[in-house]
Structure 1
C-alpha cells in the first residue's frame, strides 16, 4: 500500500475500533489514536502485500497482509491482523469483496495459499463477508475485567507459583498438553512445547509467571501468565493487560473447578498489581477450552483461515 494512503487508512480503522469500544469499553483507548495505527501500518507496509480502494481521491477501504513461510501448514501463507484492513460503512460488503479479489490474486501469485485474517468481534457484516469467501473460524481472542469469579471453590486444592523443583512434573504436563492439542478434533501439531530448560528460561523474564494447581501434592494444572506482552490481538496489547498463555488440566481432573481456581488466582494477582483487564487467545475447535473461556471471557477478535488448493499454482 502506497504510503500516501496510510493516514486515511488509519482513520478508517480507528472509526471501526471506536465502534468496538462502544460494545466493550474495557478495550485500550490508545488504539482510537490515528497515530498509533499509522505507525503500525507504516512498519507493516515495508513487507506486506495488499491493496487499497480509492474513490474521488478518498480511501474507502484497504486490505494488506504479511507473507509467512510454513504458515498454518507446510505452505506459504498470508496473515492480516485486525488493524491491517478496514472499509467505510457505505457499501461495506462490496468493498471488502473487491479488496479480497484483488489482494488474493497478488497473494496467490506470490505463492501464499493459506490466507488468515483477524476481524473484530463486533463486526458481524465483515465476518459474513469472509465466510462467503471460504474462510472458517480458527482462533478467538477474548477479554474480561478483573472482577473475581463467583461461585464455590474447592478448598482442598493448592494454588501457587512454579518452583524450580517442579520442573520435571510441569514438563510432563506440557507434553500432555502437546498431545491433547494434536488430538481430534483440534489437530494442532505443536512443533515445540516447553521442555525443562525452556520453562526455566521463560521464567527468567520477570513479566512471566507460571501458576500451578495441586491436589494431594500432585501438580494437576498449569496456567501461563504474561504481563505487558502477549500473543493476543494487537488491540489487547497494552501495559494494563495481563495475558493468559498455555493452560492445561490433566484429563482426569477436568470439570472439577481446578482451572477456575487458577483463573481466580490470576485475576486476584493482576488486580493487586494494578492491571485493568485479562486477555486470552484460544483455538475455536478446542471444545473443552472453548466452553471454559467463553464462560468467563467475551470475544474481541475472531481469526479466520482459508486454504487455497495448491494445484492453482500450476495455473498462475
Structure 2
C-alpha cells in the first residue's frame, strides 16, 4: 500500500468510495436519505491537507480535511483541522490499517501547519474506523443523529404533566386546542414564535450557555447579547418553537434548513440547532410534547426527516437525543501537545 498526497486525479474514485461508505451506513440507519452523488472534493485537493491510499494503482482510501482554522469548537484558542462527512473513506477490507496509515501521513501535514486539534467525522456504525482512531488517542466528541418526521411516543408522559399543574387534560383528539399558531396541554402553551418574539426565549439561551460551562462539558462559548441572538436567528432563517406556562418560557427549540452534514441540503430535511428546557421540567414529558408540536407542523409542510447534532460530553443532551434519534456519525477528536511545534518533526 502506498500513501501519497490527495490529488485531483483521485477525486473520481474518492467520490465513488465515499458514496459506497455512505450507503453502508444507510443500511444501518434507514432514515438517511438516498443520494446518488456527493459534494465535489476539489477543495480538498486544493488545500493539500489530504492523504490517499493506493494499492496496485487503485484508490483504497483517503483522508482529507478543511484548511486549518482558529478557535476550534468556538471555545478554545487552538488551531485545528476537521475532516467532515464524505471527506474520508476506505474500502471494507483492511479498513483499520488503511485509516491508520492515512492518519499517520495526514497528521504530519496538519501539525506542520500549526493545527493541534484533529477532528474526524466517522460513521457511527463503522466499528473498524472508530476502533482505529480510538487506538490513536481520539475520543468521541460530536454526534449527528436523525429520525423520520414522526411524533415521539409521549402519551405515557401526559399524566405526569397533568399532575404538574393539577389541570385536566383534554381527551384524546382534542388535546391541542385549535387556536391559531398555539396549542395548550396540561397548563402549558406551545407556539411557534414570530421573529419579533425571539427575545422571549433569550433567557433560556443564556441558561444554555451557562450549562455549557459546567462539568463535564467545560465548553466556554461567548454569550451573545439578546440583540445578537435575535439577529442571528433572523439571518439564518431559523424557526423557533417554545413552551410557556403562565406567560413564562419553560423550553425552546430552534430549527434550521442547514446543519452539520451535507444531507441537510435535502429539501425534506430540517435540523435542530438549539434546544433547552428548564431543569425543573426535565423528565416530565414537556420537551417531548414541544417536539411533537413542532413535528405536527413540519410534517404538514412536507418535511420527512428531522436531524440534530450534539456533543457527547454533554450528558443531558446525550441522554435525551440518543433516546429518540439514531446516530449516523460520530465525530472523534484528538488534541496534540502544542509544544511539538517547538521541535523539528522528522519526515
TM-score, with normalisation over the residues of structure 1?
0.92
The CA deviation at 1:208 is 2.0
Mapping of residues 111-150 of structure 1, within 5 Å? 111-150=114-153
Single out whichever of 137-146 and 245-254 deviates more from structure 2. Answer: 245-254
* Distance (Å, rounded) in 1 between the aligned partners of 2:241 and 2:300: 16
Residues 47-105 of structure 1: CA distance to partner in whole angstroms, max 9, x if unpaired? 35011111221111111111112224211111001211111122111111111111101
Residues 77 and 114, structure 1, Cα contact 8 Å, conserved in 2: yes
- Cα distance in 1 for partners of 2:28, 2:113 equals 38
Q: C-alpha displacement at 1:166, in angstroms?
A: 4.3
Q: Which runs of 5+ in 1 are unaligned?
A: none
Aligned equivalents of 2:236, 2:63: Cα separation in 1: 37
CA contact (8 A) 2:206 2:223 kept: no
Question: 1:49-68 residue pairs with structure 2 within 5 A?
Answer: 49-66=49-66, 67-68=68-69
Rounded to whole Å, the distance in 1 between the matches of 2:220 and 2:288 is 26
Structure possessing the higher radius of gyration over alpha carbons: 2
Aligned length: 308
For 1:185, the equivalent position in structure 2 comes to 216
Q: Is the 8 A contact 1:144 1:278 kept in 2?
A: yes
Matched, 1:292 2:310: no
Aligned twin of 2:192: 161
- How many Å separate the matches in 1 of 2:309 and 2:216? 18
Shift of 1:148: 1.3
In the alignment, the residues of structure 2 paired with residue 235 and residue 48 of structure 1 have an alpha-carbon distance, to the nearest angstrom, of 25
Per the alignment, do residues 22 and 205 of structure 1 end up closer, same or farther by CA in structure 2, a change over 3 Å counting? Answer: same
- Contact 1:27–1:236 (8 Å) recurs in 2: no
How far apart in 2 are the matches of 1:90 and 1:28? Answer: 26
Classify the secondary structure of the residue corresponding to 1:68: coil
Whether 2:342 is the aligned partner of 1:314: answer yes
SS of the residue 2:234 aligns to: coil
1:290 Cα offset (Å):
1.1
> Distance between the aligned counterparts of 1:218 and 1:61, measured in 2?
53
Q: Give the aligned partner of residue 6 of structure 1.
A: 11
Call closer, same or farther: CA 1:56–1:184 in 2, change over 3 Å: same
Distance 1:234 1:150, change over 3 A: same
Q: Deviations over 1:106-159 (max 9, x none)?
A: 111111110000101121111101100100011110000112122323422111
**Would you say the 8 A contact 1:233–1:301 is kept in 2?**
no
Query: Following TM superposition, by how much is the alpha carbon of 1:164 offset from its aligned partner in structure 2, in angstroms?
Result: 5.9
Distance 1:266 1:101, change over 3 A: same
1:258 pairs with 2:261 = no
What are the superposed Cα offsets for residues 279-303 of structure 1, whole Å, 9 maximum, x if unpaired?
Answer: 0001101111111111110001000
How does 1:74-93 map onto structure 2 within 5 Å? 74-93=77-96
- 5+ residue gaps, structure 2: 1-5, 162-184
> How many Å separate the matches in 1 of 2:246 and 2:216?
32
2:27 corresponds to 1:19: no
Q: Is the 8 A contact 1:76 1:111 kept in 2?
A: yes
Residue 65 of structure 1 aligns to a residue in which SS? coil
Moved more, 108-117 or 253-262: 253-262
Kept after mapping to 2: 8 A contact 1:121/1:300: yes
1:226 counterpart residue number: 256
User: Structure 1: how far apart are the matches of 2:196 and 2:263?
Assistant: 37
RMSD: 1.8
| Paired residues of 1:159 and 1:213 also in contact (CA < 8 A) | yes
**Structure 1 residue aligned with 2:201, among 151, 160, 170?**
170
Given that 2:190 and 2:290 are in contact with CA atoms closer than 8 Å, whether structure 1 keeps it comes out as yes
Q: Answer with 196-205 or 79-88: which moved more.
A: 196-205
Structure 1 Cα separation of the partners of residues 265 and 137 of structure 2: 29
